[in-house]
Amino acid sequence: MRLRFFFLLIIGLLLTAPLDAQEVVIHEDLKGDTLKPTFGMNRKHYRHSFLGSHFFLGDSEGPSGKLRTGLSWAMEYGIRYKRRFNNVFSGGIEWSVKRLAYIPSDWGMAVLPYEEEIRKERLVLIQTGPGIYQRINFQKRRGDFIGRFLDLGVYGYWNFSSRHVYSYDNARDERVKVKTSRLSYIQPFDYGVLARLGFNNFVIRGSYRFSDHFKENSGMEEFPRFSLGLELGLHPK
Amino acid sequence: MKHIFFSPALLLILLFVGSATGQQAEFNRASEPVENVWVFFTDKKGVRFDPLDFFHPKAIERRLRHGQDLMDPMDFPVREEYLQGVRQLADSTDVVSRWFNAVSVFAHPAQLERIAALPYVARIQPMTLVALPAGREEEISLTANLSSELQELREAQISHMKGQWFFEHGFDGQGIRIAIFDAGFPGVDEHPVFQHIREGGQIVATRDFVRRRQDVFGKNSHGTSVMSLIGGMDDSLRLGLATGAEYLLARTETWTEYFSEEKYWLEAMEWADRMGADIINSSLGYTYHRYFPEEMDGQHSLVAHAAQKAFQKGILVVNAAGNEGSSKYWGVIGTPADVTEVLSVGALDFPSLIRADYSSKGPTADGRMKPNLAALGTAVVAGKNGLKKSSGTSFASPLLAGFAACLWQKYPEWTNRQVYDAMQHSATLYPYFDYSHGFGIPQANYFFADPGNSFRPTFDFVSTPEGVKVMIHIKSLKGEEDPADRFLFYQVQDEKEKILEYFVVKVHLIEALTLDPADFSPGQKAVVHFEGYTATWNF
């Protein structure tokens, strides 16, 4: 009985449903096609997002500080605007959010209750801010694509989040994880210069940080200032 | 911040001063890289040319069939003194073009300045093109027997053009010479799909223009797949129609030399002409690396001019429309598919036979009708080993190159223009045209006494208070009473017959469409096509 009811209900719904005479498979409107676009990879305006990652090069500025190369790294996501001046020169601004994780091999910032050994320790900064750059393109004659280029620019970031994390095993052999946020010894702003060598979507990027991460009276040894990494331009097709 | 004196503001100022003076910026010229350019000469005075010695007999035959003078100055060699003069000043030279009276030169800017000052140099043009094979990375290798779906696809490759009418009447492209320009033909020398071609000695000549040698049976298998759709045969079943044609195989594309393809394509074009090619299939398109969509007017690229010249010489150039149809920034056909004389082919989905979303659309930048025709863009093709399913406009173009070969065999007295026109007239939508499908799929039965060729009206316009209704004729549906899953094409044209909008709709009811007069301006018209019949309603 119940099955019959559902069967009749479905039939009823099908019969009462509006039945379209047609289903549009393709619709192309050519009325606006005479307008010359100004937005594109090699047009007057362009905007795209990007993903990046880089490592820090060198040692900290002090006798004890060494970062664990390969584990200390940053990742970045941003949006970039490009204004084309001509086929060689363009410039623009970008805004990005970046997470930097410094993992020291022998740092000793952690405050431990007894003589325990630190298992893991890292300093994480999350920053956001603008960059401004000048682009020189090496392919003078090219169509609507990015091409090969060199970017030179500056950046300034606000460290809106800072966190020191470490863990150790206590006397009962339990793993204890300690997190400290809003670190008072971290400078609020970063700034530096950057350079990028691009091959269409793929970019090798390097930067040098002029500002210090740590406040002058903190007694902390400054982390490496050079970084080198890769970036992937996300260009909508 | 004690150790380094730095001012971001200063850097900013420096950067943007640089930008403002950018147009006048002078680099250290000695450090500038070598450029690859075309150097064009002013004349060919005093050169000697013997067409009987230079051309293959097939090329002479084709010229005579098209009523052309064998002593065309375009075919004369470039003056050796001019070449010597340029070689003395340049780093090196490679490709020499008789058609364009030009040579490809590698030189520093300072050297180019001296070359430009030579009295016999007409102009210098940078060479920066990258060809994109119009195949897509959607390949499924078939190691076992074909599934029923793929068998159906393989049959559809032929049947959607009604190609069986050709081979059932003994037309397989015999006597027609087809040149294929592609990125490599690995496996063509041993793959069973080409056994009949090898045994028949139908591969007349090969040339690798990239490596300057004869062997083309290596590198990228894109060309192998393309060739299989022109004349391949798997176990006596055809993958393409021109199984009896002769072949010239040219490798013109490489991924390692960034901006080199244009000159190889051009050189291959002249070689194919000299070797007597009747048809050239090029499943390659040149797009955003050098151009903007608004430049796709059939005039901007050197390959476009080369394709025009090939047509003048009686060659039918069949070219893939390109795979940029779904691109937000491109969308339209590439070059040389933008040339009027090139038969540009769009890709259709299987089994709907409606434009595949990747297939590049028309019109050209100057508003001309492109693509010309369409064919299946998904096909069963030969890979390096075995068969595979591939898709892209690359695979639509060779299907029609094979069609053209069979047609030309049937009408050997025809010129390339007649073959071009006849293929359009035979197509499923003709005289209806839209910028996605062109005139549709050419039909082989059109060239035979097939009773199915006569089309009767399949719908009526009926004026009602709600608007103009398009009413499908039940009787016109060839025995099938339900119009479901059939496609109706319609478009809005202005008074000058310019297409303003076009649609393809899937019809579910006899009352297929209602055109509201309020949507049309006076003088505009609706052109409707359904099942071989086209009619117009004037508003």
Alpha carbon distance B105, B95 (integer Å): 8
Enumerate the residues of chain B whose CB falls inside 8 A of the CB of residue A140: 126
> Would the pLDDT of A91 be above 50?
yes
Place of tokens 């004729």: B473
B128/A contact by beta carbon, under 8 A: yes
- Find the distance separating the first CA and the last CA of chain A, reported in whole Å: 55
Q: With an 8 Å Cβ cutoff, are A21 and B514 in contact?
A: yes
Alpha carbon distance A17, B191 (integer Å): 55
Distance from CA of B212 to the nearest CA of A (A): 27
The whole-number pLDDT of residue A64 equals: 55
> What is chain B's pLDDT, residue by residue, as a tens digit (539 residues)?
444 333 444 444 444 444 444 434 333 444 567 888 899 999 999 999 999 999 999 999 999 999 988 999 999 999 999 999 999 999 999 899 999 999 999 999 899 999 999 999 999 987 755 555 555 544 455 544 677 888 899 999 999 999 999 999 999 999 999 999 998 999 999 999 999 999 999 999 999 998 899 999 988 889 999 999 999 998 878 999 999 999 999 998 876 444 556 788 899 999 999 999 999 999 877 888 778 888 889 888 888 999 999 999 999 999 999 988 888 778 889 889 999 999 999 999 999 999 999 999 989 989 899 999 999 999 999 988 788 899 999 999 999 999 999 999 999 999 999 999 999 999 999 999 999 999 999 999 999 987 666 678 899 999 999 899 999 887 655 555 555 568 999 999 999 999 999 999 988 888 888 999 998 999 999 999 998 899 999 98
Q: Is B347 left (phi over 0), alpha (psi -120 to 50) or beta?
A: beta
Alpha carbon distance B395, B229 (integer Å): 7
The whole-number pLDDT of residue B177 equals: 98
Fold of A45-234: Porin (2.40.160)
Nearest Cα neighbor of B375 from B171, B183, B181, B156 is B156
Nearest Cα neighbor of B377 from B352, B341, B340 is B352
B431 cis-preceded (ω within 30 degrees of 0): yes
How far, rounded to the nearest angstrom, does the alpha carbon of residue B457 sit from its chain's CA centroid? 34
Enumerate the residues of chain A whose CB falls inside 8 A of the CB of residue B483: none
The whole-number pLDDT of residue B129 equals: 53
Q: What is the ipTM of this complex?
A: 0.81
The whole-number pLDDT of residue B135 equals: 55
Of the partner residues A21, A37, A132, the one whose CB lies closest to the CB of residue B513: A21
Enumerate the residues of chain B whose CB falls inside 8 A of the CB of residue A37: 329
Query: Which of the residues A19, A30, A208 would you substitute to probe the B interface, choosing the one with the greatest number of B C-beta atoms within 10 Å?
Result: A30
What is the 3-state composition of chain B as percent helix, strand, coil, each rounded to the nearest 5?
A: 30, 25, 45
- Find the distance separating the first CA and the last CA of chain B, reported in whole Å: 77
- pLDDT confidence band for A163 (50 / 70 / 90): very high
- The nearest alpha carbon in chain B to A214 belongs to B1
Enumerate the residues of chain B whose CB falls inside 8 A of the CB of residue A211: 1
What single letter denotes the amino acid at residue A197? L
The whole-number pLDDT of residue B189 equals: 93
pLDDT tens readout for residues A181-216 = 999 889 999 999 999 999 989 999 999 999 999 888
The whole-number pLDDT of residue B300 equals: 84
The whole-number pLDDT of residue B24 equals: 40
Query: Which of the residues A14, A33, A135, A190 would you substitute to probe the B interface, choosing the one with the greatest number of B C-beta atoms within 10 Å?
Result: A33
Cβ neighbours of residue B402 under 8 Å, at least 6 residues apart?
B163, B173, B178, B229, B230, B231, B240, B241, B242, B245
The least confident of A161-165, A175-179, B18-22 is B18-22
The whole-number pLDDT of residue A2 equals: 58
The residue extents of the domains of chain A are 45-234
* Domains of chain B and CATH, by start: 9-126 (no CATH), 131-447 (3.40.50.200), 455-538 (2.60.40.3080)
Contact in structure between B280 and B316 (CB atoms under 8 Å): yes
